[in-house]
Amino acid sequence: MKVNIGYIYDLVLIITQKELKIRYKNSLLGYVWSVANPLLFALIYYFIFKLVLKVQIPNYTVFLITGLFPWQWFAGVVTSSLLAYVSNAQIIKKTLFPRSIIPLSSVLMEFFHFICTIPVIIIFLKFYDISPVFEWLIGIPVISLGQIILLYGFALIISTLNLFLRDLERFVTLGIMLLFYCTPVLYSADLIPEKYKWIENYNPLAEMIVSWRDLFLNGLLNWGAITSLYTTGIITLVLGFFVFNKLKFRFAEIL
């Protein structure tokens, strides 16, 4: 099926706007909730790890939020991808278009939320006398694109498989929780004991968090972490399209 780029762009934009309207329908605070949720968790984790356990990490508040906001982007994509095809069943049955763009709209919707959190990060950085630097102009687009590629791959796999294995929702919920504590969001990667370094090495989200944290806190473009993010992202995306292409012909039948 040949579809021109302009048509795909318009369709992605329409579906993304639709998802945003559905999410914030009858919501008075709207976007505020997408920021308030990770900030509340940051407050809880700050109390536990900094005040109670006294973790020796400088500027721990901004250390937390620079990890939690990118993590929220990932978690939001995974959660919304579970029902991406189910919630758009009527469109899939009645309209002929590339089904692969539906998970992409979930990724872009959460990306919009993430971009909206950057001013919050800047405000917190100001409290610690850390200012945005020129590297942000390069780093934010570069790392964002890498994360979009990675998350699009995840979204394709999860949204497709969930149509055929509805128990996947429960496994994914547990998986997100497990990944969260295996990813250096609450702690620095330097604190991981050497014998457990393999967990970080095999965790595709570790380099993602490290990339954002080095950029926001240190103004550094960690090209090693960014390269790993792109490499993992491309592999995941290829796998995602493989799974999608194998099963897409049965979508209308299942739905």
Neighbour tally for 84: CB within 10 Å: 25
Most confident of 95-99, 109-113, 159-163, 232-236: 232-236
Tell whether the torsion through CA atoms of 29, 32, 37 and 43 is positive or negative: negative
Give the pLDDT of residue 113. Answer: 85
3-class SS shares of the chain: helix, strand, coil, % to 5: 80, 0, 20
What mean pLDDT is predicted for residues 43-51?
81
- Inter-residue contact 229 to 150 (CB < 8 Å): yes
Quote the radius of gyration of the chain (alpha carbons, Å): 19
> pTM higher than 0.75, yes or no?
yes
Place of tokens 């393999």: 198
- Residue 98 is part of which domain span? 5-254
Give the pLDDT of residue 30. Answer: 58
Q: Name residue 234's amino acid.
A: I
Higher pLDDT, 253 or 70: 70
- Inter-residue contact 138 to 214 (CB < 8 Å): no
Instruction: Provide the number of structural domains found in the chain.
Output: 1
Q: Could you tell me if residue 30 is left (phi over 0), alpha (psi between -120 and 50 degrees) or otherwise beta?
A: left
Rounded to whole angstroms, what are the CA distances from 169 to 32, 73, 78? 27, 18, 10
Which of 236, 231, 186, 212 has the alpha carbon at shortest distance from 115? 212
Higher pLDDT, 239 or 130: 239
Most confident of 5-9, 19-23, 179-183, 251-255: 179-183
Give the pLDDT band of residue 249 (cuts 50, 70, 90): confident
Which of 138, 110, 124, 109 has the alpha carbon at shortest distance from 39? 124
Give the pLDDT of residue 111. Answer: 92
Give the pLDDT band of residue 235 (cuts 50, 70, 90): very high
94-147 per-position pLDDT tens digit? 776 778 888 888 898 889 889 988 988 998 898 888 888 999 999 999 999 999
Mean pLDDT score of the chain:
84
Which of 75, 140, 71, 80 has the alpha carbon at shortest distance from 104? 80
- Inter-residue contact 93 to 252 (CB < 8 Å): yes
Tell whether the torsion through CA atoms of 105, 144, 141 and 21 is positive or negative: positive
Which of 59, 40, 69 has the alpha carbon at shortest distance from 208? 69
- How many angstroms separate the CA atoms of 117 and 253, rounded? 40
